[in-house]
Amino acid sequence: MNQRAVRKKIEEFSQAYMEFYPVVYSSVLSRIQRRDDADDICQEIFIIFLDKFETIGNKRNWLYGTMKNILYNYYRKKNMNVDSVDNFDDVGLAFTNGFRDTRILIAEAMEEIECTEKDRIILEMVATYNYTYAHVGKALGLSRRQVVYRYEQVVKRIQDYFSQKGIKDIGQLL
């Protein structure tokens, strides 16, 4: 493989990684509730993804299927009853209902309502990555109560912004 082809592969993979990693990580973390394990699982998924990248047609569907299989293996290794785990079909919703587009709309709303960088980080950590208010507070040097207040204020301002645009429910964005 020549250098130009290698650079192109790296660029395409980087673009796919930036697009899909947040939703894969969020889906995995919401299932297992353990950050270290979620990091390991996502690393495993994306190492395989890189290795097979050029041969994969529908990358979104491939990532969803691979994530599902790796999560099943995780449950088995942890001696969890796979049948007792929530149905995996809803994990795919983030891949098929325009999650990325919704994030873009929320980012645009945050630009319009002039959120501070700290407010953006709070929203991202709590809403996207399921961090607890206490964990976010510790990371940002705020009290749990301050994080709750700022998070609720940002969410309210985003909801007001969308309400002014005629969107009453987040489901209308999907």
Q: What CATH number is associated with residue 168?
A: 1.10.10.10
> Are 15 and 83 members of one domain?
yes
pLDDT of residue 90: 44
> Are 62 and 92 members of one domain?
yes
> Are 77 and 110 members of one domain?
no
> Are 47 and 87 members of one domain?
yes
Tokens of 2: 């020549």
Total tally of structural domains belonging to the chain: 2
Reading phi first (left if > 0) and then psi (alpha if -120 to 50, else beta), residue 12 is in: alpha
pLDDT of residue 102: 65
Domain limit, last residue, from 96, 125, 142: 96
Helix (H, G, I), strand (E, B) or coil at 129: coil
Domain limit, last residue, from 37, 66, 96: 96
pLDDT of residue 49: 94
CA-based nearest residue to 56, from 17, 113, 18, 112:
17
Q: How many CA atoms lie within 13 A of 138 on its CB side?
A: 5
Q: Which range of residues forms the domain containing residue 75?
A: 3-96
pLDDT of residue 170: 59
**Nearest 10 degrees: CA dihedral of 69, 78, 32, 92?**
20
Residue ranges for the chain with pLDDT beneath 70: 81-104, 168-174
pLDDT of residue 93: 41
pLDDT of residue 42: 94
CATH classification of the domain holding 16? 1.10.1740
